[in-house]
Amino acid sequence: MELEVFNLQGEKTGKVKVSDYIFAAPVNEAVVHQALVRQLANRRQGTADTQTRSDVKRSTRKMYQQKHTGRARRGSATSPLLKGGSVVFGPHPRDYRQAMPKKMRRLALRSVLSGKVKDGEIKIVEKWELAEPKTGLLSDILGILDVYNTAIIGVALSNDYLTLAASNIPGIKTTMVSMLNVADLLAHKMLVLDLDAVKKIEELWDQKETGKAKAN
């Protein structure tokens, strides 16, 4: 398939042929959901911890005698019913990480990219050439390209001017395309790529299940 290419003045300069395997794949929503849940779970630290009765350092002596007080029986001060006592069924350190086969992770990424093409949420520019790292300059360019919502600007190699210019624009994130992931793509409406970034994506993921892809 072919996608339109724009310059930084918003003018159409031609079309670029892209891989149908990546940008026109069937959208598998179930795999996308599984990949998103996995990624969010893997971000969790799992370091929350609470004290059980054996961990609370308080006197183990009964607070008052068990009988003849007219009150309910009461144990030690470590009881979870008392202030400063232990916690019942509280969290403890654990690993939330989930595993997912490499082919499924790539399928999820191709599904999201294909969905963005289908919904018209991908813009391709010739090349990012900023004379200076000015936020206002990049903001004007994005406006010309009709990128008004949240967006990811994907590049093949790091671009300091672009990164600095985008750092003060709310909802805009710059990243190398080798670091693209399902969670970020779903959290941002638009994806803006230059021609080098498109070529890099095809180098990384246009492997047609040969098992020889260069990156996850």
pLDDT band of residue 215 (cuts 50, 70, 90) is very low
| Of 155, 156, 177, the residue nearest 165 (C-alpha) | 155
Q: Which CATH number is associated with domain 2-44+99-205?
A: 3.40.1370.10
pLDDT band of residue 61 (cuts 50, 70, 90) is confident
**Percent of the chain whose pLDDT exceeds 70:** 95
Beta bridge partners of residue 125, listed in sequence order:
6, 194
pLDDT band of residue 75 (cuts 50, 70, 90) is confident
Do the beta carbons of residue 63 and residue 206 sit within 8 Å? no
Across 43-48, average pLDDT: 94
pLDDT band of residue 210 (cuts 50, 70, 90) is very low
Across 16-31, average pLDDT: 94
Supply the pLDDT for residue 74.
85
The strand ranges marked E within 12-143 are: 12-17, 122-125
**Percent of the chain whose pLDDT exceeds 90:** 76
Sign of CA dihedral 151, 155, 158, 161: negative
Angle at the Cα of 187 (from 186 to 190), degrees rounded to 5?
75
Across 25-33, average pLDDT: 96
Do the beta carbons of residue 111 and residue 59 sit within 8 Å? no
pLDDT tens-digit readout, 120-145: 999 999 999 888 999 999 999 999 99
Supply the pLDDT for residue 214.
47
Pairwise CA distance, residues 148 & 165, whole Å? 16
Determine the straight-line distance between the first and last CA of the chain, rounded to whole angstroms.
24
Pairwise CA distance, residues 67 & 167, whole Å? 69
Q: Which residues contact 63 (CB under 8 A, 6 or more apart)?
A: 74, 75, 76, 77
Provide Rg for the chain, Cα atoms. 27
Q: Which residues contact 198 (CB under 8 A, 6 or more apart)?
A: 16, 18, 124
| Of 37, 143, 165, the residue nearest 98 (C-alpha) | 37
pLDDT band of residue 208 (cuts 50, 70, 90) is low
Supply the pLDDT for residue 206.
83
pLDDT band of residue 213 (cuts 50, 70, 90) is very low
Q: Where in the chain is the domain with CATH 3.40.1370.10?
A: 2-44+99-205
